[in-house]
Amino acid sequence: MNTATTATTTITLDEGFLARRNWFDWVFALLVIVGGLYAFARYSQYMDGYEKGILLAAVPSAIWLGWFWRPLRVLMVGVAAISLLAIGAYQGDLARGESVFWLKYFLSSQSAILWMSVLFVMSTLFYWGGVFGRGQAAALESIGSRLAWAAVTMALIGTMVRWYESYLIGADVGHIPVSNLYEVFVLFCWMTTAFYLYFEEQYETRTMGAFVMLVVAAAVGFLVWYSVAREAHEIQPLVPALKSWWMKLHVPANFIGYGTFALAAMVAFAYLVKQQATETRWHRLAPLWLLGVLLTVMPMVFRKSVESSSVYWLSYLGVSAFIVGGILVARRHIALRLPALDVLDDVMYKSIAVGFAFFTIATVLGALWAAEAWGGYWSWDPKETWALIVWLNYAAWLHMRLMKGLRGTVSAWWALVGLAVTTFAFLGVNMFLSGLHSYGEL
C-alpha cells in the first residue's frame, strides 16, 4: 500500500512539473537542443573528449536553468540571437569591427562592454533614485531593474563576440574570455547582478539593488581604468598553463562564488544600516565608516602604480566619499525603504550558501587543473593559500549559522569582513604577491 502510494505521488509530481511548462518553455528547450546539436556537428572535430562532454552537458543545464527561472529564457535567446547577428556581420574579417556601424558602436566586444558599463552605472543611479524618489520610487526602481537586465545582456553579448573575435585573430589565440582581469571583471559584474535580480524577483523587493549595485559600479570603475591605463581590452594569446579545458569550468565556478560573496556583503551592509538607523553615536556607525575606508583606500593604492590616472582616482575618491556621507546622513530614510531585517538576513545566508558551494567546486577543479599543469594538486601558492582562507572563512560562517544559530549583527559584520578577505584574494594577491597564478598583474 505504501509503495503504491509513493509511486502514485511520484507520478503526480512529475506530471505536475511537466504540466507547468508553457509553450515558450518547450520552444526554448527545442532551440537549445538544436543549437547544441549544430555546435556539436560543426565544431566537434576541434574538441577533445572533455570539451564534447562539456558541450553536451550544457544543453540540459541550459534548459533546466531556463525552466527554473523563466526570465533566463528570454535572456539566453536574446543573447544568442544578437551575438549571432554580430558574428555574421564580421563575415570572417576582424577589420569590419571598425567599419560596420552596428559593430563599431554597439555589437563589437569592446562596444558592448562599454555599453554594459554605462548601463550598470545608470542602473545604480536609478536604484538610488528609487530610494529617495518618494512618489516615484517604484517607477525609478523598475527602470533600475530593467537597466540591470540590459547591462547583463550587453555583458554576455560582449563576452560571446569577444570569444569569436579571438579566433579571428588566430586559431592559436582563440579562447573563452575568462583568462585575465579584464575579462573576469566583466564576468563578475554580470554574475553578481544576475544573482541579485533573482533574489529581487523572489523576495519582490528592489531596494536592495541600491546597495548591491554599488559593488558592481565599483567594479565597472576599475574595469574602465584598467582598460584605459593598461589597454587590457586587447585580446592576448593564452599562456601555456591556461590552454586547458579546466579553465572553462574553474573560472566561472570561482566567480559565482566571488559574485555571491560580494552580494551577501552589500546586503549585510544594508542590514546594518537598517539596524542602526536610529543610532546617534557616531562611533557605533562603524559599518558605514568601514565601507568608506574600503572605497577610499583602493584609489590611493592604484595611484602609486599609475600616476597619469591620478585625476581619475581622485574623482573616484570624491564620488565614494559623497556616497558614504550621503548614506550616513540619510540612514533613517534609507532604513524605511529597505525590506525587513529577516529578509535581508535570509538573502545574505542564501547568497553565501550558493557562493560557498560553487567556490568549493572551483577549488576542487583548480586542484585537478594544477595536477595536470604543474604536477601537484596543491603547492601553497599565494593564490591557493588565500583561496583556502576564503573557503575557511565562509565554511566557519555557515557552520556557526547552521549549528549555533548565528544571526543578526555578528553575521552581517562577518559577511563584510568576508568581502575584504575575498577582495584581497581576488585583487590583492595580484597586486602585492607573486606566484604560479600571476596572470593578471596590475
State residue 95 phi and psi, 5-degree precision. -65, -25
Please list the pLDDT of the chain residue by residue as tens digits (442 residues): 444 444 444 444 445 667 788 999 999 999 999 999 998 998 888 777 877 888 899 999 999 999 999 999 999 999 999 999 999 999 999 999 999 999 999 999 999 999 999 999 999 999 999 999 888 899 999 999 999 999 999 999 999 999 999 999 988 888 889 988 899 999 999 999 999 999 999 999 999 999 999 999 989 988 988 888 778 888 988 887 778 878 888 999 999 999 999 999 999 999 988 988 777 666 666 666 666 666 555 555 555 454 545 677 777 777 877 887 788 788 889 999 999 999 999 999 999 999 999 999 999 998 888 888 777 787 888 888 899 999 999 999 999 999 988 888 899 989 988 988 998 888 877 766 665 555 555 5
- Of 395, 219, 208, 207, give the one whose Cα is nearest residue 294: 219
- Of 125, 122, 196, 128, give the one whose Cα is nearest residue 337: 128
Contact in structure between 156 and 75 (CB atoms under 8 Å): yes
Packed helices 208-230 and 310-329: angle between N→C axes, nearest 10 degrees? 170
Contact in structure between 177 and 166 (CB atoms under 8 Å): yes
pLDDT at 3: 47
Q: What is the DSSP string of 369-415?
A: HHHHHHS-S----HHHHHHHHHHHHHHHHHHHHHHH---HHHHHHHH
HSE at residue 28, side-chain half, CA atoms within 13 A, is 24
pLDDT at 11: 42
pLDDT at 61: 94
pLDDT at 171: 83
Which residues, 6 or more positions from 63, have their beta carbon under 8 angstroms from its beta carbon? 28, 29, 32, 33
pLDDT at 324: 77
pLDDT at 283: 66
pLDDT at 304: 47
C-alpha cell at 182: 579584464
CB under 8 Å, gap of 24 or more: what pairs does 203-207 form? 203/339, 203/343, 203/346, 203/347, 205/339, 205/343, 206/127, 206/130, 206/141, 206/142, 206/144, 206/145, 207/127, 207/130, 207/131, 207/141, 207/337, 207/338, 207/339
pTM: 0.90
C-alpha cell at 51: 570539451
- 213-242 as b/e: b if 16+ CB within 10 A: bbbbbbbbbbbbbbbeebebbebeebeebb
CB under 8 Å, gap of 24 or more: what pairs does 9-15 form? none
Alpha-carbon distances of 7 from 3, 13, 80, 426, rounded to whole Å: 6, 10, 40, 49
- Of 63, 19, 24, give the one whose Cα is nearest residue 11: 19
The CA-based dihedral angle spanning residues 302, 305, 306, 310, taken in that order and rounded to the nearest 10 degrees: 50
What is the residue extent of each domain of the chain? 23-432
Task: Give start and end residues of each alpha helix (H) in 170-245.
Answer: 181-203, 208-230
